[in-house]
Structure formats: C-alpha cells, structure tokens
C-alpha cells in the first residue's frame, strides 16, 4: 500500500479521483478523512492533513502572562504537540502497513514543512519506508499525472526553513506582544500584538501618516480654457501648467479678451501601452484589492480556487509563463465558459500567442486559470476573483494597445495653451481587461492657423496634496520590495494589524493613535523592531537554511540573542513606553463630549469583555450608551439633528461600514443605520449598569 499525504481535504479528494480514474472510497478514522483507491494493481490511501497537524508552543508554565520573566521566555525551549490528533493517530496506525509514502502537499516551504510533520510520525513506526515527493502547480489531471510519473525527493532543507520561521516568529511575537500588553495594561481581548514582521509593516503605515501630517501645502494656480471650433467644444490648459505666483497667474488670466485663439502647432505621436505582465502573488493581490477585496479575502478565495482545480497555485514570485505551459490548450479549455467564448475566439485568431514577461523566479508559474469553472458552482465573490484571473491571463496574451496622441498649441492673446487628445488605434489587451479602461479624449480636426472661439476661461486656485495613504495593495507591494514577510504571509500580517485595531480603512489605511504610540516608543528606545532591515536580514538567514548552507537551530539561537538585546533596551524604558501607549489608548477611546455634563465620553470595557460608552464624569454623571461588539469604532464631528447624541462610524469586516447615532431610542431611527443587514451583538443598559456597580465595588 502507498500512502499519499495531501494538504487539504478537497485536494486529497481531487488527487485521488484523478489518479484512480475510477471508483474512490471515502472513509473516516474518527475525524480523519482518507480516500482508498487502486491503480495498476497497487492500493493507495490518501490522507488529508488539514494544514499543520502539529503545533509549536512554550511549555505550560510559560502560559501565564503576568509573572513570567520575559528574558526566560525568550530563551525557553519549545515543545511540539498534536493539533490534529485524529490525523496523527491514523498515520501512526497505518504506517507499518505502508510500503511507501508520497508527499503531495503544496510545493512551497509551508507545504514541505507540513509533509515533514507527517513523515516524522510515519518514520517512527516504519523507519525504512520509501519516501518520494510529487510536486505540482495546479490540481488538474495533466499536472497531477505528470507529477506522480516524475516523483522526486523531499526537500528537507526547504521544510526546515519554514520551521525556522515558525519558531522565530513564535518567540518574537510572544515576547514583544507580552511586553507591550503588560507595560500598557492592555490585556485580555484588548492585548497589543507585535511581531518580527508586524512591527516594520506598522512602521511603514505610521511613517506615511507622519509624512502627511508634516506636509505643508503650497498654493498654486491653473488656467483652464474651453474652446470651440464650429460645433465642437474642447478643453485646454495653460502651457505652463502650475503657476506658483498668484500675480503672474492673474496677469496671464487677462488674456481672455478678445475671445479668440489661434492654433500655432499641431503634433501627433504614437504611443504603445504595454500589456500587463503575468500575475505573481503581489500583482494579484494589488489587482484584487483594487476591485474591493481585502488582501486576506483575495488570498483565501484564490487558495480555494486552486484546491478546486480552477487556477494554478496562488503563492508565487514568478511572472514568466514556463515553456511547458501550452497557452492554446488553456484558452480552448476556457472557451467552455460561456462568458469567455468571444474573447477566446479573438485570441485564438491572432497570428501568434506571445505572452508578456516579467521577472522570472525559480518558483511556481504565474497565477493563471487551468480549467473552466461553471459560474453556477462558485459563489459570487469566488466567481469575481476567477474572472479577474482569467481576464488578466487574456490580457497577457493579447497585443499591446496603441494610441495616437494629439497635442495642439493655441495662442490666446500671447498666452500659450495646450489641448491634448488621445484615440486608440489598437485596443489590444484593453479589449480583454475591463479593469483598465481605454479612455479617449476626442479633439476636433485642427490645423495650424485655425482660429478658435474662447467659450470660457477659469483661474483655479489649488494647493499641493500630501502623499496618499497606503492601500492594502500598495502596502503589500512595499512589503515585497523591502523583503518583509513572504508571499504567503503578507496578507495575513495586514489582517492582524486590522484585528488588533492598529489600522482602519480599506482603500486608505489609517493608523490609530495607539499605533503611533507603539511605533514611536519602539523607535525611541530601540528602533530595530519597527524598521525593515532587521526583518529582511532574518529572511535572508532563512533562505540560507532552505539552500542547505545554514542549520535551522543556529539561526533560531542567533535570532533569540538578537531579541534579548532588543528586550534589554525595552525593559529599561518600560515605564515611559507604557505611559505613551496608555495615553494614546485613552485618546483613541474618546468619542466626544458628554451631552449632560460636558466631560469626555469614552469607550469602556467591562469585566465581561463587553464594550460600551461611558462618561468620564462617573459617578457624578451616569450617562452611558450601548455599542456594537464587533467592528472598529471611529468618532465623527457629527451630532444627531434629532436627539443631539454623538454620531459614530463603525467599520465592520471587509468593506462593511455604517454611521449611527448613540441613542437607540432616537425617533429618527438613524441609530444602528444599515446594521440591520448584519446584526451586531450589543450591550444593553442593564449590562452597563451591572458593569458600573462592579467598578464601584472594585474602587
């Protein structure tokens, strides 16, 4: 019997069905699902691992945050335990019966590490078992059959590099998280997390916000004109563009009388708009976040589509299609999807399919569709991601787009104006990729010497804008450029920052006051935790483990020593760091002034973990309001026009957000506006009074 190790249940089922080509029997051993089939006279058993089946943690006596010495924690020996005991027990039971084992987990570091977990259990019961590796980038009949016909060796170094990252991140995360939470007094549900990659990522967001706050706007002026030739109107702008001197701008603006302009020059220029390069993980996430997904949602959906056999493996740095990928065959397969019949037909009609090329990596191929997905079988969001991947694939195979750009110079009483037009002479890839619009600006037929009428002249006062905030897509790009995290973990890191309420906003990421305090305090008393250099250096060390040039345990020990040096500085300044964070947390919690006594209304949390709004004037003022228990609460400057209560903004999961007035009894019923679509648990007045009594007793 041959034992096959698969990473997820859906992959185990698909691999078994593909290899068997006939009947596959599904069975359970407690909660461990496995599949049995025969092929060429051999019996196979495929077991689904459900990801990692063993975890790494500190010994039990380190679980208490209060009273644990952080230096001892940084040096503590780690223990391994079973997270999926039923699967581990099944492997232990079946191992003696197996003649061989084939690791068929995802072909990356994490997949290799998961395979090693299974091998460790099996080899204890069957030390001489034959071990092989099936590597593939898509779960299609061709890819799976090819992989099992060309079995290779397990890459132990690659798996150990993932284990190194796992241990390093656990120790760094535990020590830094406990330090920040303990010195700030933010424990329980409100603990402050921090980690090796979280710190520099949060530092990027805070630094960008500091740039915005420090930015000093400069005024400038623009002169815009609306001309007309015969029946066609067209816009033009003063050739200088921005005027930094108001007097100069006003003097130039006097050119509007008499209202006639003369065309002094007409120039045409052809421009090629290169088609996009194939999707690597960073490119895919940037595109997905641009159409409304969070990075975490997009990655989760892509993983599901891969497991279902619809797209290739979504974690890759490669943006060059391999020569083994038969592009025409993929297009023919996608023609089975009704929505893609026409674009596929147009692509197949081209003289040759010449894909664009980005940066080549020794990795999985770029993300691309591998099979036709029936729309009826996918939920709307999965379908949207699948279409994005398919449309992008089409765009990489299409021709470049071409435009003719027209520049017309007009003299308006000695002042030069320019009108710019653009028409597409070849739509190329733009025809296949609706996410990038083919914008045209049409101008009338203009020739040198033509006289045009001035219909309107505007002097616009403007000012320079600060640099834009990070979006999730641009933050992932910055993390990739700085080697922060991996293609597999970057989306997860950003989700953690949201979960801990360090950041809010989806299209524009806004750091909280606590985020500022955490970054500022760590910068002031150490700096390394929130700067990318240290994290990038550790990533290089883990690459050396993967290459077999360094032992896992050695870099784990080196990282612990480095952490202890950082911790030494932080502990010396724990009082100052704690004060900075507590003051910021208090500022973050203030929603506005109490309508009854004029003191601050703050978000408070009772002993049960329920949050509510209470007045800082308590016990003299007992004004309270209930709150939704989920979502980030953001104050606004508004008050309800009906009852006068404060209006807050609630940011829920994903892109869901709404504004509400704090008074639930408000006649306008604006309270809990839009929240009926997805009800939130909320604290009642009765619960708040109980919490108040508990506070009084405690005092």
Regarding whether 227 and 125 lie in a shared domain, the answer is no
Strand bridging mode 100-104 / 2-6: parallel
Q: Does residue 290 fall inside a structural domain?
A: no
CATH number at residue 306: 1.10.290.10
Regarding whether 319 and 189 lie in a shared domain, the answer is no
Residues assigned a catalytic role: 313
Q: Does residue 571 fall inside a structural domain?
A: yes
Q: Does residue 79 fall inside a structural domain?
A: no
Q: Does residue 283 fall inside a structural domain?
A: no
How many domains in the chain?
5
Q: What is the 3-state secondary structure (H, E, C) of 564-586?
A: HHHHHHHHHCHHHHHHHHHHHHH
Strand partners, 133: 103, 152
Regarding whether 124 and 10 lie in a shared domain, the answer is yes
Regarding whether 128 and 36 lie in a shared domain, the answer is yes
The region that residue 185 occupies, defined by phi over 0 for left and psi between -120 and 50 for alpha, beta otherwise, is left
Which residues of the chain are under the pLDDT cut of 70? 652-656, 667-699
Q: Does residue 78 fall inside a structural domain?
A: no
- Per-residue pLDDT, 686: 53
**Final residue before a domain boundary, out of 360, 388, 416:** 388
Regarding whether 449 and 375 lie in a shared domain, the answer is no
Where do we find the tokens 């421009």?
271
For residue 367, which of 316, 308, 301, 295 has the smallest C-alpha distance?
Answer: 316
Regarding whether 569 and 596 lie in a shared domain, the answer is no
CATH number at residue 530: 1.10.460.10
- Per-residue pLDDT, 689: 53
Domain span at residue 196 reads 163-214+468-581
- Per-residue pLDDT, 670: 47
- Per-residue pLDDT, 605: 78
Regarding whether 551 and 417 lie in a shared domain, the answer is no
Regarding whether 491 and 380 lie in a shared domain, the answer is no
Where do we find the tokens 């508004």?
638
- Per-residue pLDDT, 667: 63
Regarding whether 130 and 204 lie in a shared domain, the answer is no
- Per-residue pLDDT, 75: 94
**Final residue before a domain boundary, out of 560, 581, 602:** 581
Regarding whether 232 and 120 lie in a shared domain, the answer is no
**Final residue before a domain boundary, out of 329, 357, 388:** 388
For residue 375, which of 391, 360, 386 has the smallest C-alpha distance?
Answer: 386
- Per-residue pLDDT, 200: 95
- Per-residue pLDDT, 672: 52
Regarding whether 141 and 13 lie in a shared domain, the answer is yes
Q: Does residue 285 fall inside a structural domain?
A: no
Regarding whether 138 and 12 lie in a shared domain, the answer is yes
Q: Does residue 76 fall inside a structural domain?
A: no
Other beta carbons less than 10 A from residue 428's beta carbon: 21
CATH number at residue 246: 2.70.20.10
What is the DSSP secondary-structure string of 282-342? HHHHHHHHHTT--HHHHHHHHHHHHHTTSB--S-----S--TTS-HHHHHHHHTTSGGGHH
What do you get for the CA distance between the two ends of the chain, in Å? 69
Q: Which two tokens stand for residue 375?
A: 């729309």
CATH number at residue 146: 3.40.50.140
Each as own residue / partner, the long-range contacts of residues 371-376 (CB below 8 Å, 24 or more positions apart, any chain) are 371/140, 371/309, 371/310, 371/333, 372/333, 372/334, 372/335, 372/336, 372/337, 373/305, 373/308, 373/310, 373/337, 374/337, 375/337, 375/338, 375/339
Q: Does residue 72 fall inside a structural domain?
A: no
């Amino acid at each position: 019997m041959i034992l096959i190790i698969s990473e997820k249940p859906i992959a185990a089922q698909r691999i078994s069905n593909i290899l068997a080509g006939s009947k596959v029997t599904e069975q359970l051993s407690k909660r461990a699902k496995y599949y049995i089939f025969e092929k060429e006279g051999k019996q196979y058993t495929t077991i689904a691992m459900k990801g990692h089946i063993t975890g790494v943690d500190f010994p039990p006596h380190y679980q208490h945050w209060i009273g644990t010495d952080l230096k001892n924690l940084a040096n503590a020996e780690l223990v391994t335990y079973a997270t999926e005991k039923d699967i581990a027990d099944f492997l232990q039971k079946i191992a003696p019966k197996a003649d061989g084992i084939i690791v068929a987990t995802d072909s990356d570091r994490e997949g290799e590490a998961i395979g090693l977990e299974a091998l460790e259990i099996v080899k204890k019961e069957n030390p001489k078992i034959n071990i092989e590796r099936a590597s593939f980038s898509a779960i299609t009949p061709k890819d799976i059959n090819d992989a099992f016909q060309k079995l290779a060796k397990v890459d132990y170094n690659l798996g150990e590099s993932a284990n190194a990252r796992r241990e390093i991140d656990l120790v760094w995360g535990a020590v830094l998280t406990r330090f920040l939470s303990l010195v700030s007094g933010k424990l329980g549900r409100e603990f402050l997390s921090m980690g090796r990659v979280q710190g520099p990522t949060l530092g990027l967001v805070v630094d960008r916000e500091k740039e915005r706050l420090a930015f000093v706007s400069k005024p400038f002026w623009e002169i815009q004109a609306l001309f007309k030739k015969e029946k066609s109107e067209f816009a033009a702008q003063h050739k200088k563009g921005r005027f930094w001197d108001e007097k100069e701008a006003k003097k130039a603006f006097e050119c509007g009388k008499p209202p006639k302009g003369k065309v002094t020059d007409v120039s045409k220029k052809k421009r090629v708009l290169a088609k996009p390069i194939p999707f690597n993980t960073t490119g895919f996430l940037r595109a997905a976040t641009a159409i409304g997904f969070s990075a975490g949602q997009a990655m989760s959906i892509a993983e599901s589509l891969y497991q279902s056999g619809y797209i290739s493996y979504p974690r890759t740095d490669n943006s060059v299609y391999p020569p083994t990928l038969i592009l025409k065959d993929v297009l023919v397969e996608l023609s089975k999807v009704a929505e893609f019949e026409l674009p596929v037909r147009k692509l197949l009609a081209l003289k040759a399919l010449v894909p664009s090329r980005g940066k080549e990596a020794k990795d999985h191929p770029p993300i691309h569709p591998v099979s036709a997905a029936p729309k009826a079988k996918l939920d709307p969001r999965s379908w949207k991601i699948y279409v994005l991947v398919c449309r992008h694939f089409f765009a990489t195979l299409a021709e470049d787009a071409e435009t003719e750009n027209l520049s017309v110079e007009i003299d308006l009483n000695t002042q030069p104006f320019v009108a710019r037009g653009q028409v597409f002479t070849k739509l190329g890839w733009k025809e296949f990729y609706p996410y990038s619009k083919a914008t045209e600006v049409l101008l009338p037929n203009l020739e040198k010497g033509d006289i045009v009428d001035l219909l309107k002249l505007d002097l616009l006062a403007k000012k320079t804008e600060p640099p834009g905030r990070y979006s999730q897509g641009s933050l992932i790009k910055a993390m990739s450029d700085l080697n922060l995290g991996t293609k597999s973990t970057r989306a997860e890191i950003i989700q953690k920052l949201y979960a801990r309420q360090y950041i809010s906003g989806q299209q524009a990421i806004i750091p909280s006051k606590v985020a500022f305090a955490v970054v500022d305090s760590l910068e002031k008393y150490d700096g390394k935790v929130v700067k990318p250099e240290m994290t990038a250096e550790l990533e290089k060390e883990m690459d050396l483990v993967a290459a077999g040039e360094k032992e896992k345990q050695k870099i784990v020990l080196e990282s612990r020593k480095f952490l202890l040096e950082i911790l030494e500085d932080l502990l010396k300044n724990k009082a100052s760091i704690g004060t900075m964070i507590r003051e910021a947390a208090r500022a973050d919690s203030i929603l506005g002034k109490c309508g009854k006594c004029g003191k601050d209304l703050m978000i408070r949390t009772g002993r049960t973990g329920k949050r509510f709004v209470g007045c800082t004037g308590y016990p003299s003022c007992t004004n309270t309001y209930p709150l939704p228990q989920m979502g980030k609460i953001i104050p606004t400057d508004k008050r309800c026009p009906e009852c006068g209560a404060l209006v807050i903004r609630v940011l829920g999961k994903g892109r869901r957000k709404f504004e509400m007035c704090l008074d639930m009894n408000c006649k306008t019923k604006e309270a809990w506006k839009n929240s009926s679509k997805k009800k939130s648990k909320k604290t009642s007045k009765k619960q708040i009074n109980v919490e108040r009594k508990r506070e009084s007793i405690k005092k």
